Copies of this chain bind each other. A is one copy, B any other.
Amino acid sequence: MRILVVEDERRMAAALQRGLQAEGFAVDLAHDGEDGLHQARHGEYDVVVLDIMLPKISGYNVCKQLRAEENWVPVLMLSAKDGEYDMADGLDLGADDYLTKPFSYVVLVARLRALLRRGANRRPAVLRAGDLALDPARRRVTRGETPVELTPREFALLEFLIRHHDEVVSKTEILEHVWDTFDTDPNVVEVYVGYLRRKIDVPFSRNALQTVRGAGYRLAGDGG
Q: Give the B-binding residues of A (Cβ under 8 A).
A: 82-88, 91, 100, 104, 106-107, 109-111, 113-114, 117, 120, 124, 137-139, 151-152, 155, 166-168, 177, 212-215, 218
Contact = CB atoms under 8 A, between A and B. Distances in A.
Contacts of A114: 84, 87-88, 91
A17 B103 CA distance: 25
Given A167-B138, A214-B152, A218-B138, A107 B82 contact: yes
A91 B107 CA distance: 13
Nearest to A23: B84
Contacts of A214: 151-152
Nearest to A87: B110
Nearest to A152: B214
Given A137-B168, A151-B213, A218-B139, A83 B100 contact: no
Contacts of A151: 213-214
Contact of A120 (B107, B167, B177): B167
Copies of this chain, count = 2
23 contacts: A82-B104, A82-B106, A82-B110, A83-B110, A84-B106, A84-B107, A84-B109, A84-B114, A87-B107, A87-B110, A88-B110, A88-B113, A88-B114, A88-B117, A91-B114, A137-B167, A138-B166, A138-B218, A139-B168, A139-B215, A139-B218, A151-B214, A152-B213
Nearest to A124: B167
A155 B212 CA distance: 11
Contacts of A124: 167
A152 to B, nearest CB: 4
Given A87-B114, A88-B117, A100-B107, 4 more contacts: A91-B114, A139-B168, A151-B214, A152-B214
